[in-house]
Structure 1
Amino acid sequence: MDRIPTTDALARWNIRVENVLCRLCDTVEESAIHLFTACAFSYGVWSSVSNWLKIGPFFAFDFRDILKLYKQVKMGKEGKKIAQWDCFGGLLGNMESEE
């Protein structure tokens, strides 16, 4: 996950960033773990995904939890591809509406 250019990763790569706070919630330092599991914005995305999949709420504390959920959901290969694109589109739509 060190390839995602979060502010903490950029700092490790010696790239100066003025604002290190998460761009989505503006409350804590941005990291990959925060973006995918702890950010209030990502919680809203995961909540929408779990409602859409009709699996009830789930909490991800790290990337293994997200992968575990993905493997447990029964929807076939095509269904998972559709879910991936729907989640990606939903994320982009939410980010666009935040600007």
Structure 2
Amino acid sequence: MPKPLYKITFLNAGKVYEIYARHVTSGALWGFTEVGELVFDVNEGVVVDPTEERLRDEFANTRVLHLPMHSIVRIEEVERKAQSAIRDAATGERVVTPFPVPGRPR
């Protein structure tokens, strides 16, 4: 039987993150939820989704996230993974980080 897949939606620095993981439990730290075995799309070659790559880079060395319970919006058990996302908390629109352009200040 395959491990369950969870979609975790949480607030972080004024943005709403939507990530996927195989492990979610009440944490040993009081007031925190443990999220582990993060799931990201692995695409060879051309980058298809810059948000997915940004999340994969941000959580690259993370074994377990300890999320404060009050930051969690929702946890859903899903059948399959959709695109991970970072959204603006106020508008709900996806936050897309543009690719850096040579010679243009950041």
Query: Under a length normalisation based on structure 1, what TM-score does the superposition of the two structures give?
Result: 0.22
Structure with the higher fraction of residues in strand conformation: 2
Structure with the higher fraction of residues in helix conformation: 1
Higher relative contact order (CA closer than 8 Å, sequence separation 6+):
2
Query: Under a length normalisation based on structure 2, what TM-score does the superposition of the two structures give?
Result: 0.21
